[in-house]
Amino acid sequence: MFNIDSVEKSVVTIFIGRGTAMYKWETKENNIIIYDLKDFDPVHIFECGQCFRWNLLENGHWLGVVQNLVLDLEWDGKNLILYNTSEREFFDIWFTYFDFGRDYGAIKESLASKDPIMAEAVKFGQGIRLLKQDFNETMISFIISQNNGIPRIKKIIESLATNFGDPINSSHGVFYSFPDLEKLSRLELNDLKVIKAGYRDKYILRAAQQVINKEIDMSSIFNRDTQEARKEMLKLYGVGEKVADCILLFSGTKYDIFPVDRWVKRVMAELYLGYEASYQELYEFAIEKFGDLAGFAQQYLFYYAREKKIGM
């Protein structure tokens, strides 16, 4: 958490593990403007499979619902504008959410040095950032994502929010927050039929109940190593390896992790191994090759494989 009263306005210097990130910013008419922002592209960020509540508007802006806020974001390829955002919201929410405290230039340089394949993937998805999303929302969202296409996933999530979340008034109209687990845990299966998630209804309900009833040790997930966290995640009803790994990565809980979906499996078979390997084999290969940057490598490879339609 930052004390914004002690921050020099228009220049913020953040010291991070792999280097120093400097952001020049200012508040103008209740908007936050960040100038000359590097390693950022909303198309790469919002369309790389990690989130489901951001949409491109006709005017080229992006609109997203995060926590109890609706954000209108504009990117011109160089400068980022966050509309109707206070300094407090920027430092308390958006700085962490967009992972601005991490040096993605250093990450890309390190990954690109691994091999020409990764270098090409990094170049192609140069603006990707891993969002730090709410754990509970990420958990339910990726349970919904099982055997599902992105348009339908987004539709189900919006229906879940509209029917069970709280209203958020914004200049773009009324939106709804993602419902908290306490509320979801008290529902009946019949209540969830309205979101049209099919067999996933029982997974949503039971997972919410498991967390609320403390059947899942959340301290193991947040405070122990990645393998212990994965074991605990797999106790969630209806959650397999891929969904568990996606939840851990896209909530910003663990980064030395490598979710394997059909696109990642194809790119690994086509460009690395020469054959279609098992989930565990691919996971172990990636962890050995990319180490604590495996999660970042996964996103560059996923986006590259899907957009290039590798293996089709």
Question: What structural domains does the chain harbor?
Answer: 4-101 (3.30.310.260), 135-250 (1.10.340.30), 262-308 (1.10.1670.10)
With a cut of 80, say whether residue 286 has pLDDT above it: yes
Q: How far apart are CA 252 and CA 207, in angstroms?
A: 19
Identify the bridge partners of residue 14 per DSSP, sorted by sequence position.
21
Q: How far apart are CA 88 and CA 190, in angstroms?
A: 41
Band (23; pLDDT cuts 50, 70, 90)? confident
Band (3; pLDDT cuts 50, 70, 90)? very low
With a cut of 80, say whether residue 12 has pLDDT above it: no
With a cut of 60, say whether residue 25 has pLDDT above it: yes
When mean pLDDT is compared across 95-99, 203-207, 307-311, the lowest value belongs to 307-311
Band (76; pLDDT cuts 50, 70, 90)? very high
Band (5; pLDDT cuts 50, 70, 90)? very low
User: What mean pLDDT comes out for the span 93-114?
Assistant: 96
With a cut of 70, say whether residue 199 has pLDDT above it: yes
CA distance to 3, 32, 58, 100, 187, per residue, from 12 (Å): 12, 13, 32, 11, 45
The confidence score (pLDDT) of residue 225 equals 96
Q: How far apart are CA 166 and CA 161, in angstroms?
A: 8
Other C-beta atoms within 10 Å of 258: how many? 22
User: What mean pLDDT comes out for the span 105-134?
Assistant: 97
pLDDT tens-place string over residues 83-101:
999 999 999 999 999 999 9
With a cut of 80, say whether residue 125 has pLDDT above it: yes
Report phi then psi at 52, rounded to 5: -135, 5
The confidence score (pLDDT) of residue 19 equals 47
Evaluate whether 110 touches 293 at the Cβ level (below 8 Å).
yes
Percent of the chain with pLDDT over 90: 89
With a cut of 50, say whether residue 1 has pLDDT above it: no
The confidence score (pLDDT) of residue 11 equals 56
Evaluate whether 270 touches 157 at the Cβ level (below 8 Å).
no
Mean pLDDT, the chain, rounded, equals: 92
pTM: 0.92
pLDDT tens-place string over residues 214-234:
999 999 999 999 999 999 999
Residues 6+ apart with CB under 8 A from 101: 14, 16, 21, 95
Pinpoint the alpha helices (H) of the chain.
Answer: 42-46, 87-89, 95-97, 104-112, 116-124, 135-144, 150-164, 181-185, 200-212, 218-223, 226-233, 241-250, 262-268, 279-290, 294-308
With a cut of 70, say whether residue 62 has pLDDT above it: yes
The confidence score (pLDDT) of residue 21 equals 62
With a cut of 60, say whether residue 13 has pLDDT above it: no
